Amino acid sequence: MRSFDEIIAISADRHGGAQAVEGKLSRPLPLAEIAEIPDDRWLAGMARAIFQAGFNWKVIANKWPGFEEAFDGFDIATCAYRLPESYDALTQDTRIVRNPAKIGAVQANALFIDEVSDAHGSFGRWIADWPGDEYIGLVAELGERGSRLGGATAQYFLRSMGVDGFILSQDVTARLIAEGVIEKAATSRSAQKAAQDAFNQWSSESGRSLTEISRVLALSI
């Protein structure tokens, strides 16, 4: 496995130098800011990631104000306990993408967020307190306890909220394979742990966030 310095050098060579690479990197929010994000914004972020999955992201972006209106600003109590009464209407609502299963996931995830918030003070506090070196465990927890948050959906959701972590995209996966970390797409727990261990090592070497490292790996392909 190459050092992080070697991988970022590959990325710099492919993208016009170190400064150009730095300009393409995104950085996570501080944990204190993560903890302060209101529960309704976490639900909105989940919903956006779910509706984007397998769909044209630009369409969702253009319709997003309609989503906010249709789901009452993603108010947790409204979506958790009143959505069943308006479910049929929402499946006919042209302000949103009328996918019944994804609409139903909004209610399920509102209940999930409400449960976590009751136990930890807020959903954001729970996320902020999760150990960064066990990020893949958080992804698994979201997939198990949330609705339609499996696969890469949880990873894109967390990235959109500013949470430090990596996305096992096609390019990141290709770099991990090239480095001998995994043999194929990391769908098994053992492969995901191997990916986590590699990211932890690169982070320890470089002092970089998982988010930055993830992007550098993608740029190296």
Kindly state the DSSP code that residue 81 receives in the 8-state scheme.
Answer: I
pLDDT band per the 50, 70, 90 thresholds, residue 84: confident
- Cβ 163 vs Cβ 28: under 8 Å: yes
Residue 204 tokens read as: 């320890």
For each of the domains in the chain, give its residue range(s) and CATH number, in order of start.
4-28+166-219 (no CATH), 32-149 (1.10.340.30)
Estimate to the nearest angstrom the gap between the alpha carbon of 173 and the chain centroid.
Answer: 16
Neighbours of 64 (CB within 10 A): 16
pLDDT given for residue 55 in this prediction: 92
Torsion angle of the four alpha carbons 208, 211, 213, 216, in this order, in degrees rounded to the nearest 10: -130
pLDDT tens for each residue of 131-168: 999 999 999 999 999 999 998 999 999 999 999 999 99
Closest CA to 164 of 125, 213, 206: 213
- Side chain identity at residue 177, one-letter code: I
Q: How far apart are CA 92 and CA 13, in angstroms?
A: 51
Q: Say if residue 109 is exposed, middle or buried (CB neighbours under 10 Å; 0-12, 13-18, 19+).
A: buried
pLDDT for the residue numbered 140: 97
Mean pLDDT of 80-87: 83
